[in-house]
Structure 1
Amino acid sequence: MTPFLKKGSNTLVVAAYDPNDGRAPSGKNGPRGDYTFNSGIWQSVWLEPVSKTYIKNIRMLPELEQNRLKVIVNADGAAKVSAEALDGKKVVAQANSTAGTYFYLPIDKPKLWSPDEPFLYDLKLTLYDDNGKTTDEVKSYFGMRDIKLGKVDGVLRPLINGKFVMQLGLLDQGYWPDGVLTAPTEEALKFDMEYTKKAGYNLIRKHMKTEPHRFYYWADKMGLLVWQDMPAIWYQNEDTLKTRKVFRQELKAIMDDHYNSPSIITWVPFNENWGAFDVRNITDWVKQYDPSRLVNGNSGFNNNPDYQKAYGDPMNGDYVDTHIYVGPYGASKPDGKRAASLGEFGGVGLFVRGHMWPVENNAYDYAATTTALTDRYVLLLDKVEQLMKYQGLSVAIYTQTTDVEHEVNGVLTYDRAVEKMQTDRIKEVNEAVIKAGYLLNK
């Protein structure tokens, strides 16, 4: 029994002080951001009872070359751990170890996780005390996949499970008219992801924001690749000992929090030099801290905000990444050590009366009708395919999933009520480009 509980009724207060003053990571929801401010607790909070000795967290790493899953279970003391991997109801691997020690689950002939076949194994972890009594039990899941750079016909590209997969996705900001950072329901959260998959994309770049765990769960289940951005800090050059320390701490916390999601394949510490500092060092640190994923140190290093001089290309990490509006020509090419990525392009807008935020709306360019916008998109993707085949491009991320307040360049309106392009045609061209990428492996 915890000493913090007293007999009878108890009141638990959950509170947070969040000035949203730009001195802690806030992304576009901050003093130099673009959208309505919000502050405080915006993700789910829950309470669950645990034993005195319980599983605090787990860390899992698929190692495909060795046909095994590397696991560590963290708990107080050297409690005994039992682990079972399951394919449906069938136990495919079992291991015993102690808390705080890495161990391995051998996965014979593993079923691989990929965007086309996002197979997930179940995992059951049990914690025992010295007397053999169960003190905690956790159920989880894992996907057997890896992501690394390798050459395909002499061109350096990101490889998923040893094969090049053209990463074609949407810039997903995750803002909502009613809850700003908070989706109104889990079904609403899923809706954007289901549309992304339905329209033939295989990637989401989660832009300048993190989401509740359910977002990554559905990405894992649906087979959506995720680039995870770090939310920007805005006043990184003021009180640097404090502000930069907070950024580094929260970057590590985000990586720790989502380390086990197979869908996350790339970390993005900075975007377009917003709040950027020590870019090369931080890029190297992220790569060192999680060598199992790729790192895009400064997506769109060719752009910068007017209040800050651009750091430019950090010259390290795994991608040469530029943002080209409307594009896609002018996109990066591989440089021998890094693959080429078009981290943002497109941004063509369409006004949809009755479904716009009540401010002056804008985009990088405009189309007059749904058909015209779809025609423009198909042409852009035809150009992306040419860059992929002949200039070494491996990633293209279109701006953006939904309109956001003054921005009307979403493929959906901000209220998610209108599909602004002809989805069947988007799907057709997206799938054609991804298929053309598969053919490069032959």
Structure 2
Amino acid sequence: MKTLVVRLSLAFASAVLALLPCYSWSQVALPAQDDAVHTSALVTRWGRVVTPENAWQSYPRPGMRRERWRNLNGEWDYAIRPKAEPRPTRMDGRILVPFAVESKLSGVARKVGPEDRIWYRRSFAVPGDWLGERIMLHFGAVDFEAHVLVNGGLVGSHRGGSDTFAFDITDYLKPGNNELVVQVTDPTSAGAQPRGKQQLTPKSIWYTPVSGIWQTVWLEPVPSLHIEDVNVTPDIDAGALDVDVVLNRSTGNGHAVRITAKVGGKTVSSTIVRANRRARLPVPNARLWSPDDPYLYDLDVELVAVTDPLQHLENGPREEALITKAEAEAYRTAQVTGAPLDAVRSYFAMRKSSLGPGKVAGQPMLLLNNRPVFQNGTLDQGWWPDGLLTPPSEEAIAYEIDFLKKAGFNMLRKHIKIEPAHYYYLADTMGILIWQDMPSGEEEDSLDQFVRPKASDEALMPARVTDEFEYELLRMISDLRDHPSIVTWVVNNEGWGQYASTRLGHMVKALDPSRTVNKTSGWLDTGDAGSDIFDIHTYEEVPNAPAHNRRRAIVLGEFGGIGLPVEGHLWFPDQRNWGYQTAKDRDDYLQRYRRKYAEVIRQARELGLSAAVYTQTSDVEGEVNGLLTYDREVSKLPAESFARIHAPLFERGAE
């Protein structure tokens, strides 16, 4: 089929696409518009087979599964209007959710400015067997400010570009079809909100903006009283798992939570606790999770009714027994009545991330399960030529993680981007360590918010900006803390909007003591307090070495950046693409790569270097520093060649 070129209105183009039973994104050229986004000809192999029927159909919250749910991904109506205008009477066309407006896979590829508002509309019906339950409407992520209406009623609003949110829409529903409208505004780089590398004028290390819905939208029925959150923290030293189960509201003595750890359907241990209480579950002879053995346990969490366990307490009023050992013991042996009122299925791993002695005296190292394991990673930016921040499919994620493991990497630094939950689930099941960055935020070209390497102090930011950043930082940790693959939180990158890093480092450690914290990756280091890691960025031909530090692990938070453009796989085929250094050909690339890793290996052996993060997993737009091309079709070297170069980092005695 020849390329279909459409030069009519966007609405007409969307109508054409809607009529195609299974269109190929590589064969449909988006129409020329004054507000068109550059998308290039690049499409991944996974993007070529995306359809409205198969777009992101996996369960969107793998760590908290219920049996019943309904996916709302697919084709929605959309319109882009000035944000001061009222709701449009006519829509512009169709958009494929969950892909952002600017992306090729959305079928739109239009610019959205700070003065614009995106309108989404679709209808849905609630399955008949959900009647009598509360109906939750979930969003994986919407960038940036969303207002959600059902049948004309405002059910809620949310600010934040990367975190999950949900609304109870039960009271707004009617029999039959219901109308769902989502309106979104996004200042992108005109604001200082967390946004990572999105910029209204993409260039160099700054990329195409992402606006609107960019992760899965879905419905879920729950009982009036239900499980809202499950948090797990492994303690391998004690052979136990701490489990915090929180209901959507408080309740009386007659409700409890039954928690059961299983392997292959067989119970490892089980306990019952009062609702909204902490629990500790023994996990004897635990099999530890690692990249070499990503072993996961199943976890069943059930809300159950019990005969009041406190009714027979003899010593003092029952109120005095609350949150005591007596209460815990009474509930542990409580009599369960009837079937579970609510149930979720989860999983966990027994894994420890910490700081401790290494092989070089006086130089602490990053430990995995109480032993030094060199963390060899890539800077993984998570951008795709067809989906931008949204991976084209779950299979695309699995391919990339598998490639990194075959290439001899056991870690990736998820660079100032938060992925869909399914990404971390695959990392958990496939076995790769993750340093999770908080997305940075600052205004475009803002000199007073950009902290340079030789600065003597950090920036001052308005309270509305710091409040937004800290809220999203809290939400990131809340959303992701149960994933064993995540071993380090990275609070700030290269002074981009850097403020109060020591206070923020302490805050993150208080929120999650079970992981290491890297408060500043690269550039302005603010001392040992609030951080487990001393991190430098070095793009020299031979990487510089971080200074010895008696209190923190030393790491190369970024290095490498060998550029090698591959014809036929470029975002800008007619422009000069760039790398921190540019290789003449593959032989030159190989020699440069070997030279850099020879120094990393030396630093690991002689200086006690704990980790190195190579820039980067794939090319991104005009940046050709990747191990893979932007479409993930070509590896600059065979995966086996990368693995052979990295092998000395993992030899016995090297760790």
The TM-score, its normalising length taken from structure 2, stands at 0.64
Tell which deviates more after alignment, 46-55 or 207-216: 46-55
Residue 262 and residue 32 in structure 1: after superposition, are their counterparts in 2 closer, same or farther (change >3 A)? farther
Once the two structures are superposed, residues 32-78 of structure 1 have per-residue CA deviations (whole angstroms, 9 ceiling, x without a partner) of: 86111121111112111111111111110001111000001110224
SS of the residue corresponding to residue 610 of structure 2 reads strand
Partner of 1:124: 300
Partner of 2:193: 24
SS of the residue corresponding to residue 298 of structure 1 reads coil
Partner of 2:232: 60
SS of the residue corresponding to residue 16 of structure 1 reads strand
Of the three residues 357, 367, 371, the one matched with 2:571 is 357
In 1: Cα distance, 2:595 partner to 2:435 partner: 25
Q: Does 1:104 align with 2:298?
A: no
In 2: Cα distance, 1:297 partner to 1:252 partner: 14
Q: Does 1:95 align with 2:271?
A: yes
Bigger Cα Rg: 2
- Deviation, 1:172, is 0.3
Partner of 1:280: 502
Residue 16 and residue 100 in structure 1: after superposition, are their counterparts in 2 closer, same or farther (change >3 A)? farther
- Deviation, 1:380, is 1.5
Partner of 1:318: 532
Residue 347 and residue 276 in structure 1: after superposition, are their counterparts in 2 closer, same or farther (change >3 A)? same
Percent identity among equivalent residues?
Answer: 41
- Deviation, 1:300, is 0.6
Query: How many pairs were matched up?
Result: 430
In 1: Cα distance, 2:608 partner to 2:201 partner: 35
SS of the residue corresponding to residue 13 of structure 1 reads strand
Of the three residues 582, 592, 606, the one matched with 1:390 is 606
Q: Is the CA contact 2:541–2:592 (under 8 Å) kept in the aligned structure 1?
A: no
Q: Does 1:171 align with 2:379?
A: yes
Q: Does 1:151 align with 2:357?
A: yes
- Deviation, 1:15, is 4.2
Q: Does 1:134 align with 2:340?
A: yes
Partner of 2:88: none
SS of the residue corresponding to residue 11 of structure 1 reads strand
Q: Does 1:199 align with 2:368?
A: no
- Deviation, 1:238, is 8.5
- Deviation, 1:440, is 4.6
In 2: Cα distance, 1:313 partner to 1:367 partner: 35
Q: Does 1:341 align with 2:555?
A: yes
Q: Is the CA contact 1:81–1:127 (under 8 Å) kept in the aligned structure 2?
A: yes
In 2: Cα distance, 1:140 partner to 1:230 partner: 25
Partner of 1:304: none
In 2: Cα distance, 1:245 partner to 1:198 partner: 41
In 1: Cα distance, 2:224 partner to 2:545 partner: 55
Partner of 1:211: 419
Partner of 2:617: 401
1:161 partner letter = N
Q: Is the CA contact 1:202–1:225 (under 8 Å) kept in the aligned structure 2?
A: yes
- Deviation, 1:98, is 2.2
Partner of 1:381: 597
In 1: Cα distance, 2:191 partner to 2:542 partner: 32
Partner of 1:410: 626
In 2: Cα distance, 1:238 partner to 1:150 partner: 34
In 2: Cα distance, 1:367 partner to 1:67 partner: 50
In 2: Cα distance, 1:16 partner to 1:321 partner: 37
Name structure 2 gaps, 5 residues minimum: 1-131, 133-169, 307-336, 444-448, 450-458
Partner of 2:176: 8
Partner of 2:217: 45
- Deviation, 1:10, is 1.7
In 2: Cα distance, 1:105 partner to 1:17 partner: 45
The TM-score, its normalising length taken from structure 1, stands at 0.93
Q: Is the CA contact 1:156–1:334 (under 8 Å) kept in the aligned structure 2?
A: no
Residue 239 and residue 271 in structure 1: after superposition, are their counterparts in 2 closer, same or farther (change >3 A)? closer
CA RMSD of the aligned region, Å?
1.8
SS of the residue corresponding to residue 393 of structure 1 reads coil
Q: Is the CA contact 2:380–2:618 (under 8 Å) kept in the aligned structure 1?
A: yes
Q: Is the CA contact 1:148–1:158 (under 8 Å) kept in the aligned structure 2?
A: yes
In 2: Cα distance, 1:226 partner to 1:362 partner: 27
Q: Is the CA contact 2:200–2:208 (under 8 Å) kept in the aligned structure 1?
A: no
Partner of 2:544: 330
1:186 partner letter = E
- Deviation, 1:200, is 1.0
In 2: Cα distance, 1:23 partner to 1:238 partner: 12
In 2: Cα distance, 1:10 partner to 1:108 partner: 50
Partner of 1:71: 243
